[in-house]
Amino acid sequence: MIMAILNYSGMFLPYALIRRHGMKNIRLAIKSDGSIRVSADTSVSLDNIEKFLIEKINWIEKHRVIPSQVPELCDNMTLYLFGEAFVLKITKLHEESVNIINNVILTGLPQPENIAAVERLLISEIAAKGREIFSGLLKEFLGSADWRGTPPALSIKLLSSKWGHYSKAKHEIMINIAVCGLPFDLARYLAAHETAHLIIGNHQKEFYALGEKLLPGFKKFDRELSKYRPDLWKNIISAYNKPI
């Protein structure tokens, strides 16, 4: 991997370039920290790579989060869980703990200034809350779909670019933890969406018909979801909970 800089119209865009043998297409990815990664075959010239980046410049600007724009967690920050506002309180305690009481998320740890440790605790607690909510939603929609098979496994985790995914190989529904920062009706839509994928793999006519049966207004919720971004768990923080 080498670091390169694209100079385009007075804008300097740093990116990591990875060369691999046998690649048919140039691939572009934006990491959660805002860094850009480009993968290309060894035969592709740097000029062609930069032409590719220039063609994608609007997409990059739309999806990239500049690190300086990512707020640090701080005391009294507003967080959103399934559309409900909570106030984050960070305090010093001998042992790590997270408690949700009357719309206050009380997070205690020996070093409250350690932002990474606060994030780790919150991710764990929010994932547990997400599993509780989605377990109930999936049970509801599996019943509506008259699903007679084995219920899928459920996991709430950090996903880089998807709200959710059904893995047929693992028979597992994976939900992005950022979903926990969406309004509840959109989280409910995602549960219906992934339930429909248990039965119909692709986004074809039958898939949307099933989705509408499970959740009236299915396509309307799909359009509403497109206003939000799934790339950071910090969707849960108020700055990232607003539509783009």
| Residue pLDDT, tens place only, 180-195 | 888 899 999 999 999 9
* 99, 141, 243 from 153: Cα distances, Å: 26, 15, 30
149 Ramachandran zone, left/alpha/beta (phi>0; psi -120 to 50): beta
CA dist., res. 31 & res. 28, Å (int): 10
Encode the chain (244 residues) as per-residue pLDDT tens digits. Answer: 777 777 776 566 778 889 999 898 999 988 766 678 899 999 999 889 999 999 988 888 777 655 444 455 677 788 888 888 888 888 888 888 888 888 888 888 898 888 778 888 888 888 898 999 999 999 999 999 888 889 999 999 877 678 898 998 999 999 988 888 888 999 999 999 999 999 998 888 999 999 999 999 999 998 888 877 665 455 455 433 333 3
Q: Which CATH class is domain 119-240?
A: alpha beta
Task: Tell me if 89 sits within 8 A of 97, measured CB to CB.
Answer: no
Domain with CATH 3.30.2010.10 in the chain: 119-240
Query: What's this model's pTM, rounded to 2 decimal places?
Result: 0.65
DSSP assignment of 119-162: HHHHHHHHHHHHHHHHHHHHHHHHHHTT--SPPPEEEEE--SS-
Task: Tell me if 176 sits within 8 A of 159, measured CB to CB.
Answer: yes
